[in-house]
Chain A
Amino acid sequence: MTKTALSVLTVLAAIVVIWYLAVAPMNIRVALDQAERAGATIDPPSAVERREMSSWVLMAKNRDYISEGYALDRPRLPTPVQVGQELWKTTGAMVLNGRTWSKRSLIYHGWITLQSTFWGFLLGTTIGIVGAIAIVQSRVIEMSVMPWAIISQAIPIVALAPMIIVLSSQVGIEGRGFPKALISSYLCFFPVLVGMVKGLRSPSAEQLDLLKTYSASGVQRFMKLRVPASLPYLFTSLKIGIAAALVGAIVGELPTGAISGLGARILIGDQFGTPLAIWAALFAAAILAGVLVTLLDRTQQALLRRMGMRS
């Protein structure tokens, strides 16, 4: 146990080290530009000349300014500590100041995104499960639905998202909630569909024969065999599905001109040239995804244990 923890920490430390090492070459130009504006003598002195040179050469010629790259206001690549500080500033510190639901708070934006994720997940999971049941029950439905489900995943969601928004406002749906949930469910339903089809089909021929010898009805076969057999598959796909739903919700916030939500924060950070805001929003999204997947994982383990399965 401690040995595993040690290995995991080692890998984590290596990632952080690589990140720190990468900050210097990524930020050297910005650091030199800033130093030049502050009146320092840089080699070479003009930004135009520097553009022709590689980061490594610039670093070699201006060793004194490398450290500046680690403390920029608008770094190309912020350090982990800077990202952490920005995250704290927009979450924990906001809570302490009583400004949890301020427009600058990532908790507020995260909550907006989480809501879309939730509705998208609910919608996507429902579509996925119902679709899988229909596909398993009927060969005709399988042949007519499955290809479309696969094709749907080949269309980039970024291309589809604006159309979904335009179309839903065309049919008179106010606000961004519904189109965002729809975009989110578009990414989410597929893993659930595929996983459930596989799960519902997982009973062996012998298990099906057994029910036949009892002269069991189709409903009984479904409820007593196919459904319980599919549960481990369902949870595995739900975990993928909820992460996909979160991605969908964020993507749904990008092209919609939304001003709230993690996606909107990323877009605004890009437009206003504040990389720290982007990074903080990215990490907030990652943490959110981690929490959601962990919650589902715990539920899965508890349920499967109750069902007597070894996990």
Chain B
Amino acid sequence: MTDTAISADNLSLTFQTNDGPVHALKDVSLDINKGDFVSFIGPSGCGKTTFLRCMADLEQPTGGSITVNGVSAREARKSRAYGYVFQHAGLYPWRTIGRNVRLPLEIMGYPKADQDARIKRVLELVDLAGFEKKFPWQLSGGMQQRASIARALAFDADILLMDEPFGALDEIVRDHLNEQLLRLWAKTQKTIAFVTHSIPEAVYLSTKIVVMSPRPGRISDVIENPLPAERPLDIRDTQAFLDVAHRVREGLRAGHSYD
């Protein structure tokens, strides 16, 4: 057993389009350790979502290799090694919140009593206890996204892949959810890969920040976040925080310098 949860080695993915090939990812190498919180930040088209989807075996790389928990991404998906949170909550409108969380458990064949216990536990974890019988449209956008996180936490996957989960929410809700997510991460000890557009979000949440740049999509900087594990929201006003944010910004700018 290694300490590496996800390992990409010279990963490339080229989409063939009518306008010629698009290099979504080119020679990307990265190791994510178990228990890490890794953010991927970069402008649109830098391949951060594609990278995440490669980890999830939702895209097939055209070059290089990727392993998840020491096996191929496909095997990892088959063994249900990760929970995936999409940009939109994507709750099924005809299922209550409780039954939405139950969906993966039904599919994976957990016993009924275990399902009930898990639903109760994860809904409490995301502060949605008591909303089990509500339908998605009766909840705000932030609550829906929390429900979708609960859904990804309900089964025993030690990796959480999150694709801009808070991108569509307003700043105040986003702050609140960031705080909650950190607490959740501390409590569950999961490995989290988190795609975002927001520099403060990346710096606030991560142990490791991966800065990416477009055309072709590649990694331009990997920053080990020196901030302490304990992070109240106002840590964002400290000099240490601003220094990291500055370095991320520099990395983003460098990626843009020649276009």
Contacts and interface: CB of A to CB of B under 8 A. Distances in A.
Interface stretch (B13-21, B32-40, B86-94, B244-252): B86-94
Contacts of A207: 90, 92
15 contacts: A206-B88, A207-B90, A209-B84, A210-B86, A212-B57, A212-B77, A213-B82, A214-B107, A220-B107, A224-B103, A224-B106, A307-B94, A308-B93, A308-B137, A309-B94
Nearest to B136: A308
A216 interface: yes
Interface string B107-122: 1100000000000000
Contacts of A204: 90
Contact of A308 (B57, B80, B94, B103): B94
Interface in B57-79: 57-58, 77-79
B107 A216 contact: yes
Nearest to B104: A214
Interface string B211-242: 00000000000000000000000000000000
B83 interface: yes
A307 to B, nearest CB: 4
* Interchain residue pairs A-B with the least CB separation, the first 5: A308-B135, A307-B94, A213-B84, A216-B107, A214-B107
Given A206-B90, A220-B107, A213 B95 contact: no
A54 interface: no
Interface of A: 204, 206-207, 209-216, 220, 224-225, 228-229, 231, 307-310
Max chain B C-beta neighbours (<10 A), residue from A215, A216, A225: A215
A206 B148 CA distance: 13
Nearest to A209: B58
Given A209-B86, A215-B77, A215-B78, 9 more contacts: A207-B90, A213-B56, A213-B83, A213-B84, A215-B80, A216-B107, A224-B106, A229-B94, A308-B137
Chain B interface residue bracket vs A: 20 to 34
Nearest to B93: A309
B29 interface: no
Nearest to A221: B107
A308 B96 contact: yes
A310 to B, nearest CB: 6
A309 B95 CA distance: 9
A216 B88 CA distance: 20
Max chain B C-beta neighbours (<10 A), residue from A212, A214, A216, A307: A214
A289 B94 CA distance: 30
A213 B77 contact: yes
Nearest to A304: B94
A94 B89 CA distance: 61
Nearest to A232: B94
B237 to A, nearest CB: 36
B191 to A, nearest CB: 15
B78 A210 contact: no
B205 to A, nearest CB: 21
